[in-house]
Amino acid sequence: MKLLHIDSSALGANSVSRGLSAAIVAEWKAHHPGLQVEYRDLDAEPLPHLTGAALAKSDPAQAAEAERVLEQFLSADVVVIGVPMYNLSIPSTLKAWIDRIVVAGRTFRYTAEGPQGLAGGRKVIIASARGGLHAGAPTDFQEPYLRQLFAFIGIHDVELVRAEGVAISPEHREQALAGARARIDELVQPLAKAA
Ligand SMILES: Cc1cc2nc3c(=O)[nH]c(=O)nc-3n(C[C@H](O)[C@H](O)[C@H](O)COP(=O)(O)O)c2cc1C
């Protein structure tokens, strides 16, 4: 079994989403000693923006890197993604990664009946962190976007671990972290055990 671990926070050791994604991966490792884990830190090792030159594959090194990123995603059974909310949405470093994995003919295709996802059969677990409270609000272009995006490429098995309101006060932060940790115990632990 292969697990791909992605982080995208720019806050390094102070990051909430990094702590949660690491805890989720630790659960999977605990239940699957032979688990193959690949890790990409999109803050330390960002991908370039998807430009015209990138689409035209005019830079062979960049084209090869894009292909590696797509292959790495397609070879994973489980994908764990640490995602902070930035400006109501996701970090641009994560968007640059998404631009490499949502590829017509590889992870989705257009048909007369509408787009068809081609990347189903894998599980995605999102570790989400937000400074304010956005769950269910029209300000949330982070979690619903990711759900729609993965559904678009055929992945409906998407689980979410959330810590939000972490910038409101130290008490809110502690409460949000405790809630996220409880969700990892209640949801992710049994999932990892059963996989
Ligand atoms: C550049 C930037 C933009 C942010 N934008 C938002 C925002 O729009 N809404 C919000 O609730 N919190 C926002 N925050 C707060 C983060 O979501 C919060 O600090 C969260 O913990 C970040 O995840 P991390 O701890 O994993 O880095 C922002 C933080 C940064 C650094």
Distance, in Å, from the CA atom of 56 to the CA atom of 148, rounded to the nearest integer, reads 27
For residue 194, what pLDDT is reported?
A: 84
Residues of the chain with confidence (pLDDT) below 70:
none
CA of 130 to the centre of ligand 1 (A): 5
Domain total of the chain: 1
Helix runs in 75-194, H state only: 92-101, 143-152, 170-183, 189-194
- Check which CATH number belongs to the domain holding 120 and give it: 3.40.50.360
CA of 76 to the centre of ligand 1 (A): 28
Residues belonging to the binding site for FMN are 9, 15-17, 85-88
- Specify the residue for token string 């809630």: 179
Dig out the tokens for 175 from the structure.
Answer: 């409460």
- Name 92's Cβ contacts closer than 8 Å, sequence gap at least 6: 49, 86
CA of 91 to the centre of ligand 1 (A): 9
- Whether ligand 1 lies within 6 angstroms of the CB of 100 is answered as no
For residue 195, what pLDDT is reported?
A: 81
Q: What is the pLDDT of residues 87-125, one digit of tens each?
A: 999 999 999 999 999 999 999 999 999 999 999 999 999
Dig out the tokens for 77 from the structure.
Answer: 């059974």
Question: Of all atoms in ligand 1, which is nearest to the CA of residue 89?
Answer: 8
- Whether ligand 1 lies within 6 angstroms of the CB of 167 is answered as yes
- Whether ligand 1 lies within 6 angstroms of the CB of 15 is answered as yes
Q: Determine the structural domain holding residue 96 and report its residue range.
A: 2-194
Residue 42 near residue 97 (C-beta atoms within 8 A):
yes
The angle, 0 to 180 degrees and rounded to 10, between the axes of the packed helices 170-183 and 16-31 is 20
CA of 86 to the centre of ligand 1 (A): 5
For residue 193, what pLDDT is reported?
A: 82
- DSSP per residue, 105-127: TTTEEEETTEEEE---S-EEEEE
Distance, in Å, from the CA atom of 141 to the CA atom of 83, rounded to the nearest integer, reads 12
For residue 143, what pLDDT is reported?
A: 98
